[in-house]
Structure 1
Amino acid sequence: MVTAGSRGDGMRRANLALVLRTVHREGPRSRAALTEATGLNRSTIADLVGELQRAGLVVERASETQGRVGRPSPIVEPDPRVVAIAVNPEVDALDLGAVALDGTIVVRERLAQDALLTPARTAELVGIHLDLWRGGVLADARPVGVGVAVPGPVRAGDGLVREAPHLGWHDAPLAGLMTDATGLPSHVANDAALGAVAEHLFGAARGVHDVVYLNGGASGIGGAVIVGGNPLGGAGGYAGEFGQNRPGIVDPGDRRAADGVLEDEVSRALLLDAVGAGALDDAALRDALARSSDAAVRAETERQRRILATALANAANVMNPAVIVLGGFLAALAELDLDGLDRAVRAQTIPACAEGLRVAVAELGEDRLLVGAAEAVFEAALFPAR
């Protein structure tokens, strides 16, 4: 936002980011409220807001407060014309949208796929739709980058997709392909890691500093951990692959895959088979499971919930989170009886780690991965390193 220069310039960049991050993540604030939230003085806030306005990052509107003595403080809010293009490729569809800096999802499309997407085809489709949007719904917008949530490990240093096994991707340079197709800076990360950030900042884990997040999608189960308010990346950025853990299964009759990992046993595909559906989105799957009176459906959901509860208890015992958030089809499983799942997790968690533990479903629903992908763009494009 400000050209690099002296140490004073660095402090100013940090203060600009602080103000912008506050209204982006916490919502519109008066200048007076920004003064209180940031600890900066009134004249500094006025100067910073003015610069952010000139950069096209915030707008001001008159306060709606009535009846107060004195001049009301104007309200500062993110400029909704600033948008991030957000993308989530899966085995059955490509979800893409544009998320504004004020949190509004300006446009969203789900492109069903009959064949597995390649990295090149994914980038091509995003480029095509961005061009269409620029001639229509995004005609007045200012895209600042592309964020991609990928179902597989992504190298933190350069966004190389090391492996997206269900898509058949290996060492895919997706960020470069996406930039070539769109002309925008691109940021690629694991889908669960981005979902965790979204729920931590705007959803079920808002205000919580220690979080375990599990995401259930068509490609399996991914996970992420937030410790002390910061995402846990690991040495290469691959931390949180809970779906690859070996689940503890008490009843041998519950096992469906010899030596299978968690995502083999707790599976969206098995739930779809149980309800006799070839393809359903998460909301439709949740409704189908909730409506079904079929004993076979009930048996399969109960089997998966037993195994999931043990996996979550293991995570709670190791990480001691304040909240475990479940997204995707895992949320659909949990919502069949959230209190019951919570009790099953606690029963297998040591008492100290169970204190204050909460099991929750993702509040952002099907938007969580797009919101997380957009956040990766905003963080890189608009907020300098702290």
Structure 2
Amino acid sequence: MAEVEGVRQRNLSRLLRIVHLDGPLSRAALTGATGLNRSTIADLVAELEGAGLVIERAPDPSRRVGRPSPVVAADPRVVAVAANPEVDALTLGAVGLDREIRVRERIEVDHLLTPDETARLIADRIVQWRGGPLAQARIAGVGLAVPGLVRAVDGLVRNAPHLGWNDVPVRDLVSAATGLATTVGNDASLGTLAEHLFGAARGIDDVVYLNGGASGIGGGLIVQGMPVGGAGGYSGEFGQNRPGIAAAADRRADDGTLEDEVSRARLLAVAGLTTADEPALAAALGAAGPAARDEIDRQRRILATALANAVNVLNPSVVVLGGFLATLADDDLSGLTALVAVQAMPANMEDLSIRVASLAEDRLLIGAAESAFAELLRAPAA
């Protein structure tokens, strides 16, 4: 009996995960995707619908061959609240199990957020949203994307240097403030997850992702289809590497790291801004003068060297760039690829694609929400 129950639980999880990742599918398509028979699919869908996790829609009227098959979709009322604290803002959103973003807000700040303040702001927004756009929602949990080292086993923020957070139990603080199950992860690692599941790296088994944010540069890895977190969950800190800089005139920080040289703060300065979200920064750089052009070119040269090192070591199929790194790449993607190719091993460049994050400024929220959905997807019957 226990074995039968275990199989049922796994099938419920599998079915919910499929409609979450792939979107609405007919019962017939689910039968083909899972190999289960039609009656089993019907029973599983009924149980998930009873639990408020999926909904069934009328069959597609354009289908004229065979028996019409109802369409199964993730229930849009199920959401996760996602948050990304940064040095200049706290960005929050509610992401549906159907992958739609219900609400999004950026709260700009003129000081470094403390962990307690972050927890309070998240809790306050959830209360407000429950009286408005989330009035009919079921909140599965909260996910945080933090720019720093996050211990995988318990979500302890070991070091978020730009925020000044050290050994902070952010997960527990947010859970206590909101009354909701909470997960915490490194922002770039969660961005990697989002782009791999839904974005520019979907379906790609070997991926290097670099994220450029207000706190610097982080990254993540997908190797043979699996995320690589490292022994403690701290892998992917590309921004802390010291890049080779061929021209002395390109150096701005003596013995500086990659994120000291390739820097959002430097781009804001040449654009004449003190703070901006990603679309505003890209627009300002596009309208700025020669000084901005020179800084963009300088940063691209150094970024190309860092990417060539990653390509040589990891041999990915795809490199994805997010945040202000996407802005740098979008300026001339083929030119950046050529700069990387000059410094990388020719065999490693074969079939390599460098792409910008297709989820754009929502990638970290989507990744944080995915982390918050993980337990629900693993055990929907619970």
Per the normalisation by structure 1, the TM-score is 0.97
SS in 2 for 1:80: coil
The amino acid of 1:89's aligned partner reads P
Match of 1:42 among 38, 41, 61: 38
Residue 340 of structure 2: aligned partner? 345
Residue 272 of structure 1: aligned partner? 268
Distance in 2 separating the partners of 1:301 and 1:69: 56
Gaps of 5+ in 1: none
Match of 2:113 among 108, 117, 137: 117
Distance in 2 separating the partners of 1:38 and 1:71: 19
Match of 2:123 among 116, 120, 127: 127
Q: Does 1:383 align with 2:371?
A: no
Q: How many residues align?
A: 380
Gaps of 5+ in 2: none
Match of 2:189 among 188, 193, 212: 193
Distance in 2 separating the partners of 1:28 and 1:67: 15
Residue 27 of structure 1: aligned partner? 23
**What is the 5 A alignment of 1:344-363?**
344-363=339-358
Distance in 1 separating the partners of 2:265 and 2:252: 12
- 1:137 CA displacement: 1.1
Distance in 2 separating the partners of 1:331 and 1:111: 23
Residue 329 of structure 2: aligned partner? 334
Distance in 2 separating the partners of 1:10 and 1:311: 46
- 1:296 CA displacement: 1.5
Distance in 2 separating the partners of 1:69 and 1:255: 66
Distance in 1 separating the partners of 2:256 and 2:263: 11
Gap change, CA 1:67 and 1:81, over 3 Å in 2:
closer
- 1:67 CA displacement: 5.7
Deviations for 1:15-74, whole angstroms, at most 9, x for unmatched residues? 111111111001100000011111212111111111111111000001123362443000
Residue 240 of structure 1: aligned partner? 236
The amino acid of 1:142's aligned partner reads R
Deviations for 1:115-141, whole angstroms, at most 9, x for unmatched residues? 110001000000011011111111110
Residue 132 of structure 2: aligned partner? 136
Q: Does 1:370 align with 2:368?
A: no
Distance in 1 separating the partners of 2:189 and 2:228: 9
The amino acid of 1:379's aligned partner reads A
**What is the 5 A alignment of 1:152-301?**
152-292=148-288, 294-301=289-296
Residue 84 of structure 1: aligned partner? 80
SS in 2 for 1:86: strand
Q: Select between 304-313 and 346-355 the one with higher mean Cα deviation.
A: 346-355
SS in 2 for 1:16: helix
SS in 1 for 2:150: coil
CA RMSD of aligned residues (A): 1.2
Q: Does 1:324 align with 2:339?
A: no
Distance in 2 separating the partners of 1:196 and 1:384: 24
SS in 1 for 2:73: strand
Identity %: 63
Distance in 2 separating the partners of 1:380 and 1:308: 37
SS in 1 for 2:177: helix
SS in 1 for 2:205: coil
Residue 67 of structure 2: aligned partner? 71
SS in 2 for 1:359: strand
Per the normalisation by structure 2, the TM-score is 0.98
Aligned residues of 1:324 and 1:358 also touching (Cα < 8 A): yes
Aligned residues of 1:52 and 1:58 also touching (Cα < 8 A): yes
